Amino acid sequence: MRIKKNNSIKLGIIGKVKVGKLVEKGNKTFPVSLGHFRATSNVAQYEQMFNNLYQESSLLPIMFGGNDDEFNINHVYEIRDSTGRVYSYGNGEDYFVSVKEGFKMFEKSCILSKYGTIEAFLNKSTSYLSTSRYKAQWMEVLTIRFVIPNMPILGAWELRTMASKSSIDQIIGSYDLAKNISGGEIKSVPFFLRVQKVKSNRVLDQNRVYPVISLDQVITNQVRESEYLNNGIKLIE
């Protein structure tokens, strides 16, 4: 017998998937973008297993472990202080703000009552956190949590992206479309995560190359399971 609780099942986070790394040059550390996936984990064996299976791979077969949208694909605005700690995050209307006890939720009505507009609250937070050496700014952040089917570990991997003009809209659109097609069920629908380095087309940023992440649904009646799991890199050019 078990106590009945109305809680959705959430897998534990066992590692993070990234498309960048930090490199040291002289006495300074710089972020460098990659054209392939890499993983980090608190469990060295998990990290090694991922990197052995998908060493410098630009394609990653994934599935979502449940139908909880907030866990699978969490989309928020967030702002950090000069130490890199999250100060506040929200969905554009309701926001959580860091307090001594943790994060306190402020609903839209409360924010409007105190600040008049959401924009005024955002600007006040930016001014409060900014210093002469640090300019705080609100960022659009997408966190996706998924399982990797051919890894013998029951747990979720996490990937974060802040590429609002490229990656985020495509990932959300692909997720929503797949969920609609499958009648609201997204659990165990096969996808590929794909990363590609592209060159900026902005005049002032022409030499900048950055990674774009895409979420591609697999058409299961055209792909054998063994190909998807073991030879996925060959399926999409």
Tell me what pLDDT residue 234 has: 42
Residue 136 domain flag: no
Q: Please state the φ and ψ torsions of residue 89, each to the nearest 5 degrees.
A: -150, 155
Tell me what pLDDT residue 197 has: 82
Residue 161 domain flag: yes
Q: Do 96 and 67 share a structural domain?
A: no
| pLDDT tens string 52-104 | 898 889 999 999 999 999 999 999 999 999 999 999 999 999 999 999 889 99
Percent of the chain with pLDDT over 70: 84
Q: Do 224 and 159 share a structural domain?
A: yes
Q: Do 217 and 151 share a structural domain?
A: yes
Place of tokens 């089917």: 149
Tell me which of 78 and 26 has the higher pLDDT: 78
Tell me what pLDDT residue 5 has: 61
Q: Do 60 and 18 share a structural domain?
A: yes
Residue 201 domain flag: yes
What is the Cα–Cα distance from 94 to 105, expressed in whole angstroms?
7
Burial of 186 (0-12, 13-18, 19+ CB in 10 A): buried
**Confidence band (pLDDT; 50, 70, 90) for 236?**
very low
Q: Do 27 and 113 share a structural domain?
A: no
Q: Do 224 and 119 share a structural domain?
A: no
Please give the mean pLDDT across all residues of the chain.
Answer: 85
Residue 175 domain flag: yes
Q: Do 94 and 60 share a structural domain?
A: no
What is the Cα–Cα distance from 148 to 42, expressed in whole angstroms?
17
Provide the angle, in degrees to the nearest 10, between the axes of the packed helices 108-115 and 118-129: 70
Q: Do 92 and 207 share a structural domain?
A: no
For the stretch 220-224, contacts whose Cβ atoms lie closer than 8 Å and that sit 24 or more positions apart, written own/partner, are 220/190, 223/190
Residue 4 domain flag: no
Q: Is 159 left (phi over 0), alpha (psi -120 to 50) or beta?
A: beta
| Tokens at 7, concatenated | 């809680």
Residue 172 domain flag: yes
Q: Do 104 and 87 share a structural domain?
A: yes
| pLDDT tens string 160-218 | 998 766 789 999 999 999 999 888 899 989 999 999 888 766 655 666 777 889 999 88
Q: Do 227 and 153 share a structural domain?
A: yes
Q: Do 37 and 116 share a structural domain?
A: no
Domain count, the chain: 2
Q: What is the residue range of 190's domain?
A: 13-74+145-234
pTM: 0.82
Tell me what pLDDT residue 106 has: 94
Contacts of 23 (CB under 8 A, 6+ apart): 29, 30, 32
Tell me which of 209 and 5 has the higher pLDDT: 209
Q: Please state the φ and ψ torsions of residue 148, each to the nearest 5 degrees.
A: -110, 110
Q: Do 192 and 110 share a structural domain?
A: no
Least trusted range by pLDDT, from 12-26, 174-188, 218-232: 218-232
Average pLDDT for 142-168: 88
Tell me what pLDDT residue 168 has: 92
**Confidence band (pLDDT; 50, 70, 90) for 227?**
low
